[in-house]
Amino acid sequence: MAENKNQDLKNLGEFGLIDHLTKDIEIKNDSTITGVGDDAAVLDYNNKQTVVTTDLLLQGIHFDLVYTPLKHLGYKAVVVNISDIYAMNATPKQIIVSIGISSRMSLEAVDQLYDGIKLACEKYNIDLVGGDTTTSLTGLTISITAIGEANKDDIVYRNGAKPNDLICITGDLGAAYMGLQLLEREKRVHDKNNAVQPDLSGYDYILERQLKPEARKDIIEFLKEIDVKPTSMIDLSDGLSSDIMQICKNSKTGCRIYENKIPIDHATSLMAEELNMNPTVAALNGGEDFELLFTISLQDYEKFSKETELKIYTIGHITEESKGKYLVTNGDQEIELQAQGWNNE
Ligand code: ADP
Ligand code: MG
């Protein structure tokens, strides 16, 4: 059975596979002049600026196929890319997807990966306009490049934060990391005893945060609606500690963030307790939350009083560079933030 499936992929060949994967793609954006099918895609952004980012995902380094469904992997691969475009206060419009596939992979498996990629394209209104397809000897490799647009004056960089600006984040932190810890634990249990099936019931929230994250398109739209341009912004991919430090480094400032202001979901706290971990450490160092962290001037604060379903949390403020970068703990201690994160043990 498995061999037959592999045979499908071999019989199709590179061109057959590309055709199979891309034949049902319909262009959604005016800026896409030509998508898949020629030597290169052709885009037209008129007088807007173009924002480009890329990510490379390697099996065994960035994902583990033992517990990552391929459809989720495809979806997440797109989301992590376009999250970077939103973090520039821009709108993603096109992606380019390059894959290295091992000969052991079935056509069905590649289809699942693309189902996830296409689902994300639907949800975020993005055109898949090209890519490259090759055989890999070292497992599955996925490289996605995302292209977006913004008016020149709307782009938000990491270097614009000023002392007294408020530091905001757009959702709870640490859940994706705790989801990963759970998946790794169940994998170890399964490795020891194949008869034991993983028990993942009741852990839906943290698993979803790890396996199917979303990019914060809604936040970018809301900021436009209330006419707020953050002074700086970054997406939370590496953990709060290292990401706020990036803002401070680029803006030449310090910061104070408050432990009791960092939103942590109940499910994250429960899992942390189960694993004997500090949930604040998961929020600071875990990463993969894909929330946005941005700074706003005090004058803009009142604009956030507009009614919205969205949750935006103020967790601290920017200071002069000489004041350093600190976390104020629940016990009122000031602990210096570290790029590798902070640890109170
Ligand atoms: P070239 O030989 O010029 O690199 P390819 O045969 O690799 O062209 O690709 C043909 C077309 O299919 C191009 O438009 C390319 O962007 C697109 N393409 C190739 N691989 C993929 C893929 N994995 N996903 C989406 N589009 C792809
Ligand atoms: Mg090619």
131 Cβ below 6 A of ligand 1: yes
Average pLDDT of the chain to the nearest whole number: 94
pLDDT digits over 158-190, tens only?
999 999 999 999 999 999 999 999 999 999 988
* Residue in this structure with the two tokens 């290295």, named with its chain if needed: 100
Can you tell me the distance from the alpha carbon of 5 to that of 338, in angstroms, rounded to the nearest whole number? 48
For the CA of 14, the nearest atom of ligand 1:
6
Kindly give the residue spans of alpha helices, DSSP state H, lying in the chain.
2-22, 70-86, 107-124, 175-192, 204-211, 217-225, 240-251, 266-274, 279-285
60 Cβ below 6 A of ligand 1: no
Does residue 34 have a known ligand-binding role?
Answer: no
Task: Please state the pTM of the whole predicted model.
Answer: 0.94
Does residue 54 have a known ligand-binding role?
Answer: yes
* pLDDT at 229 (0 to 100): 98
pLDDT digits over 228-245, tens only?
999 999 999 999 999 999
Map out the domains of the chain with their CATH numbers. 2-154 (3.30.1330.10), 166-336 (3.90.650.10)
What is the chain's Cα-based Rg? 21
Q: In the predicted model, is pLDDT for residue 341 greater than 60?
A: no
* pLDDT at 4 (0 to 100): 58
- State the distance from the centre of ligand 1 to the C-alpha of 14, rounded, in angstroms: 9
Cβ neighbours of residue 246 closer than 8 Å, sequence gap 6 or more = 158, 234
